[in-house]
Amino acid sequence: MGINGRLQRYLLPASIMALLLFLSSFWLPQIAMRDCETSWHPCLSFNFYLPTLESPVIPHPGGVQSGGQQGERGVVLGSVPPLQVCQGQQFQVWRLMSHLTSSMATHSDDVLLEHYLYSWDELIKFMESLGPLVSFFSQKVKDKIAVIRELAQQEKEALEKRSPVEGHSGLQTRTSGLQGPAAYSSVRSMVESELQRGLVNFSVRTRSGCRNLLRLHRSLLWILLLLQGLGEGPDAQGVYRTPGELCRDAYTVALAPHHPWLIRSAAELVFVALPDRRVFLDIVCVRKEEEVGPVLNIVVDVMREVYTRTQSILEEHNMIELP
């Protein structure tokens, strides 16, 4: 092996090691929060952003109101602790809860697609609050959301061309069949519509909503497991697991089996650069450790219900391993 061969052999490991050393310096104590546009650190301040609602309102699936009533699969929807507006941040836990619960508001076995994607809009804010390195993954999520929304818009425009009166009537119910806006009104309607129209291929990749939904579905499990881990208490020695460890374990379960080596290696770099536990708790607007479990556990419960419903629909139509 010549000199060039030896250089190529050691170049990648050396580059990764150098990058790891560089990233490991990110979370040394900082005197002050840096400017969001120039810092590689998570940005908890977003240019004096103020939410439009002062009093968060959390809708409950199936009309369930407060009072501790039981939701689907044991989710106690009425036991949601007070979720406050977190000033100075784009990501808001109460808004995420609102979209998640709204996505389950009409059917016990389905998920409304619009609110599901709104939930992801909020989760992207959570991901991007962790720093620009996480943007590598959040951009992938944005791309998949954009495909589903574009397909829904194309169906809407096609319906308007076929029937202008019906297209402008605003009807988006299941009575319209499996075409037009109704085709993308929920996870189930999208799956059935795309199967009916031959948009899904079980052997090769296609630009279908179902394929992109499956990728979002896997990513939702990753975030679910991360938040679940953050909500757990310390070990017997009183030590909490680091967000990097929790992210790595969640990734190993939810996403790593579906990613090539290069993506898995990039993910490892992200885990090394993640902030400490206190920064994560600030992002979800939790000030005291005793508040972490009650807040995150209810978010995880509702998120798990959305995940379970979606999983059931995908399994029913053999879409768990779409290429």
Q: pLDDT tens digits for 284-311?
A: 888 888 888 888 999 999 999 999 999 9
- CATH number for the domain spanning 228: value is 1.10.3520.10
Nearest to 228 by CA among 181, 297, 313, 129: 297
Measured between alpha carbons, how far is 61 from 100 in angstroms, rounded to an integer? Answer: 9
Q: Is residue 298 part of a domain?
A: yes
- The whole-number average pLDDT for the span 4-22 is 50
Q: Is residue 45 part of a domain?
A: no
Measured between alpha carbons, how far is 172 from 195 in angstroms, rounded to an integer? Answer: 19
Sign of CA dihedral 7, 9, 15, 17: negative
A 10 A CB-CB count for 228 gives: 18
For residue 238, the Cα-to-chain-centroid distance in whole angstroms is 30
Structure confidence by residue, pLDDT tens digits, 68-123: 333 444 343 444 456 777 777 888 888 999 999 999 988 889 999 999 999 999 99
How many domains in the chain? 1
Confidence of residue 159 (pLDDT cuts 50, 70, 90): confident
Q: Looking at the predicted structure, is the pLDDT value of residue 124 above 90?
A: yes
Q: Looking at the predicted structure, is the pLDDT value of residue 153 above 70?
A: yes
pLDDT at position 16 is: 52
Q: Is residue 121 part of a domain?
A: yes
Q: Is residue 214 part of a domain?
A: yes
Query: Which range marks the domain in which residue 301 is found?
Result: 86-150+209-316
Alpha helices in the chain (DSSP H): 3-23, 93-102, 113-128, 135-162, 164-167, 187-196, 209-230, 243-254, 261-273, 277-283, 289-316
Q: Is residue 283 part of a domain?
A: yes
Q: Is residue 146 part of a domain?
A: yes
pLDDT at position 3 is: 52
| 294-295-297 Cα angle (round to 5) | 70
Measured between alpha carbons, how far is 178 from 209 in angstroms, rounded to an integer? Answer: 14
Measured between alpha carbons, how far is 253 from 109 in angstroms, rounded to an integer? Answer: 25
Residue 96, token pair as written in the block: 């995420």
pLDDT at position 189 is: 95
For residue 53, the Cα-to-chain-centroid distance in whole angstroms is 22
Nearest to 243 by CA among 271, 205, 204: 271
Distances (CA, A) of 5 to 1, 2, 11, 210: 6, 5, 10, 44
Q: Is residue 47 part of a domain?
A: no
N-term to C-term CA, the chain: 39
Measured between alpha carbons, how far is 80 from 242 in angstroms, rounded to an integer? Answer: 26
Q: Is residue 291 part of a domain?
A: yes
- The whole-number average pLDDT for the span 276-289 is 85
Identify the weakest region by mean pLDDT among 20-29, 150-159, 160-169, 239-248.
Answer: 20-29
The secondary structure of 162-214 as a DSSP string is H-HHHHTTT--SGGG-SSGGGGGSBHHHHHHHHHHTT---SSS----HHHHHH
Full-model pTM: 0.72
Structure confidence by residue, pLDDT tens digits, 179-199: 445 889 999 999 999 999 999
The secondary structure of 71-82 as a DSSP string is -GGG-BGGGPPP
Measured between alpha carbons, how far is 307 from 33 in angstroms, rounded to an integer? Answer: 35
- The whole-number average pLDDT for the span 231-250 is 89
